[in-house]
Amino acid sequence: MAADPATRAVTQALAARTGTDPGDWFLVFKARYGMAVVFRAVREGRGPGEVVTQIFTCSTAVDPILAAGLTPRHADVSPDTVSIDPDRLVLTDAARAVVVQHTFGIVDDERAARVAAAARGVGALVVEDSAHCVGRLARDASGPVADVSIHSFGVEKVLPTHFGGAVWLNPAADAGLRGRMADELAGLPVVGARLDLLARAYRAEVGVLNRLPGAVSGPARRALTALRAFEPAVAPAEGRGRLPYRAMRPSPWMAQTMAAALPRLDEVEQGRGALVAEYQRLLGDAVQVPAGARPGDPLVRWPFFAPDGPTARRVLHALDAAGIYAGSWYRPALFPGVEDPQRYGYRPGDPALATSEDLVERVVNLPTGGDVAEARRAAEVVLRVVAGAPRT
């Protein structure tokens, strides 16, 4: 079936940004459903086994592994990238895939290539998670390092689209697996009228919910979700190891929204990069920042680590009181938290994940989508709290 003009515009724009072929890009309703197709193909093509990923992530990035009948196994991350640390990665031949996540949009080509090489060493598929950096791929001298790359147009990602995802299939990847994934992605059904309507209503609904007092907003959001009158960023089932829908393609309206946003991606990235540079200038010496986050990088949020968990929470409180929306992405681990971590392959307190757990405890992330004045105000609040924090 020939792609509609909006889908063609999106795949062409993504291909142009990445120096790839538009025919290797496929659109999905949310990135997590692209991952679901990929992991299901891995399970069917390579049999049961593990997908190596990280706990410093969203539950929706692990649900597709469980939904495919594979077993998540978590590797510890590097504090420089908040992504799997190649220096400490140990893989066995139970690994069917390894996820290289560009957390917050930090793309470390060299480390990503080393994780990819380790994955290939045990015959595992290299799945790049570029959910936080749509249109960016890790590369080495010979080109993109991943076999598959997952991109998000979802809620609180780089572009203000709220819905949509894209999957890039490397033409050099294992032909059997690649063919399986391409066939399935090309044949996905389009989302139905209800989800299309909810996607169109999303911005207005969130606007109203965010204006309600905190004590009302959460219950109202949950009630609307239960009534299937609101499509949340993370559904209740997505904290219980399940995805609520089958994999689907975006509606024409969603694809048009994605197509309309992509021409502004350079501008959006420049704006985010400017705020990252400003945060780095104002706070880089006062707090711990992942070394892989360079000033000017177009990060989806600017992450830093407070000296300890209580200080991180005080910073978030103070920012909230100052009317600045800061994130606690990824505290708790498998954000925003899951009912049964063991089901997700995570045993809290596991010494093998000590770095990840320490970073989860101390993380704060600041918005990069606003203006410089707001960033300066946020930095002042952070400095005030951190300067007053007891030394540990």
Ligand X SMILES: Cc1ncc(COP(=O)(O)O)c(C=O)c1O
Judged by the rule CB under 6 A, the positions of this chain that interact with ligand X are 30-32, 57-58, 60-61, 101, 129, 131-132, 152, 154, 165
Contact 128, 146 (CB under 8 A): yes
Q: How far is CA 106 from the centre of its chain?
A: 11
| Shortest Å, Cβ 90 to ligand X | 22
- Alpha carbons 161 and 264: distance in angstroms, whole number: 12
Closer to ligand X by CB, 156 or 380: give it: 156
Starting at the earlier edge strand, list the strands of the sheet with 71-74: 25-28, 165-169, 148-152, 125-130, 95-101, 50-53, 71-74
| Shortest Å, Cβ 364 to ligand X | 17
State both tokens at 57.
């992530």
Closer to ligand X by CB, 209 or 389: give it: 209
| Shortest Å, Cβ 53 to ligand X | 9
- Which residues 6+ apart lie within 8 Å of 58 measured at CB? 131, 234, 329, 330, 334, 335, 336
Burial of 371 (0-12, 13-18, 19+ CB in 10 A): exposed
Closer to ligand X by CB, 35 or 89: give it: 35
| Shortest Å, Cβ 360 to ligand X | 14
Contact 364, 312 (CB under 8 A): yes
| Shortest Å, Cβ 203 to ligand X | 16
- Alpha carbons 39 and 186: distance in angstroms, whole number: 16
Residue 206 to residues 2, 159, 322, 328, Cα–Cα distance (Å): 34, 16, 21, 19
Burial of 87 (0-12, 13-18, 19+ CB in 10 A): exposed
- Nearest partner of 221 among 236, 239, 241, judged by Cα: 236
Closer to ligand X by CB, 32 or 96: give it: 32
Closer to ligand X by CB, 58 or 91: give it: 58
Contact 75, 84 (CB under 8 A): yes
Closer to ligand X by CB, 129 or 269: give it: 129
Closer to ligand X by CB, 100 or 287: give it: 100
Closer to ligand X by CB, 24 or 128: give it: 128
| Shortest Å, Cβ 131 to ligand X | 3
- DSSP label at residue 78: P
| Shortest Å, Cβ 106 to ligand X | 11
| Shortest Å, Cβ 199 to ligand X | 12
Q: How far is CA 201 from the centre of its chain?
A: 23
